[in-house]
């Protein structure tokens, strides 16, 4: 095996029970935690963090299939979504009541797509009709609505490093609306459009959640778009288009990374390096390390 490489597994990788008919697996990007949820009678939950010391295990009542599960920052409050209308909460703060309490979404006829913790006691519900920003009071076992915004939502992405949520809107899904969260406030950022390779007629959802990723690179927020092309003499195949997204001001296309192949991909950022995983070849490629100051095409 060649010693020349950019990436390698750590000495103690996180190990967990694989997904099956009785075991669901979830990953929380904010806390870097893997949840293995085993159903049947009482629900057994094993949480694996980035190191052995951050792993915990507990049981909770089986009240239906778990759709989403995440701890708040510091593992203080657990949020569990079991239905499309509400989210349940369990205190993990010592000396606080361990009884579950529930919050239904405020928007009528809305369905909860998911949720994001933006602080240890602040959470955002993302529904198909908008977003709802809440403060959680674990001692009182209730939530207070801080702010909400009505907008049609197809899917969402969250960047925990910058506390920015990106919503896919419109019929085609390529108008993206970001919201920033900081110290109990919610700010609407400038929306922008992703250029589709083909505009469908009649219009239909054309931008997939799996083709968009958010990441901070050298402290700056980027939206990465996997743009698929059929590989021809005039086209090198798929590309990763990077849009720089400042907190204030307008977005701009900053880089285009050419992959020279086609197929299904996934994206990661490791040490400010753009890593593309190619499914069919089972290969991860380090496409380009972006410069810190100068912008160019790779």
pLDDT tens figures, 237-289:
889 999 999 888 788 888 888 888 888 888 888 888 888 988 888 888 876 65
Closest CA to 228 of 254, 264, 201: 264
Does residue 28 have a cis peptide bond before it, meaning omega lies within 30 degrees of 0? no
Q: Phi/psi at 83 (nearest 5 deg)?
A: -125, 175
Kindly indicate the confidence band of residue 297, based on its pLDDT and cuts at 50, 70 and 90: very low
Please give the share of the chain, as a percent, with pLDDT higher than 70: 90
pTM equals 0.89
Helix (H, G, I), strand (E, B) or coil at 153: coil
Contact 176, 192 (CB under 8 A): yes
Q: What is the domain partition of the chain in residue ranges?
A: 11-122
What does the block give as tokens for 149? 């915004």
- DSSP state, 280? T
Distance CA 58, CA 76 (A): 14
Average confidence score pLDDT of the chain: 88
What pLDDT score was predicted for residue 1? 44
φ, ψ at 260 (rounded to 5°) = 60, 30
**Is residue 16 over pLDDT 90?**
no
Top-confidence residue, 218 or 247: 218
Q: What is the pLDDT of residue 4?
A: 66
| Sign of CA pseudo-dihedral 109, 113, 114, 115 | negative
């Amino acid at each position: 095996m060649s010693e020349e490489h950019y990436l390698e597994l750590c000495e103690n990788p996180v190990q967990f029970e694989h997904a099956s008919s009785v075991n669901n697996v979830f990953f929380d990007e904010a806390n870097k935690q893997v949840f293995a949820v085993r159903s049947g009678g009482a629900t057994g939950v094993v949480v694996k963090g980035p190191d052995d010391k951050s792993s915990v295990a507990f049981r909770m009542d089986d009240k239906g299939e778990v759709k989403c599960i995440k701890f708040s920052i510091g593992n203080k409050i657990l949020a569990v979504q079991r239905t499309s209308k509400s989210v349940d909460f369990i205190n993990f703060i010592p000396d606080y009541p361990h009884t579950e309490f529930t919050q239904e979404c405020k928007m009528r006829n809305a369905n909860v797509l998911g949720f994001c913790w933006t602080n240890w006691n602040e959470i955002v519900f993302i529904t198909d009709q908008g977003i709802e920003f809440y403060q959680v009071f674990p001692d009182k076992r209730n939530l207070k609505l801080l702010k909400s915004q009505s907008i049609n939502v197809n899917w969402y992405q969250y960047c925990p490093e910058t506390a920015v949520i990106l919503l896919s809107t419109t019929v085609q899904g390529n108008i993206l609306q970001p919201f920033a969260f900081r110290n109990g406030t919610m700010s609407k950022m400038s929306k922008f459009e992703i250029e589709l390779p083909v505009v469908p007629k009649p219009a239909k959802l054309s931008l997939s959640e799996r083709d968009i990723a958010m990441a901070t690179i050298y402290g700056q927020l980027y939206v990465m778009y996997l743009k698929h092309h059929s590989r021809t003499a005039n086209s090198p195949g798929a590309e990763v288009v990077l849009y720089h997204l400042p907190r204030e001001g307008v977005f701009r296309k900053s880089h285009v990374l050419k992959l020279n192949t086609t197929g299904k991909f996934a994206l990661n950022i490791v040490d400010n390096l753009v890593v593309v995983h190619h499914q069919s070849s089972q290969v991860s490629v380090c496409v380009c390390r972006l410069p810190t100051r100068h912008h160019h095409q790779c």
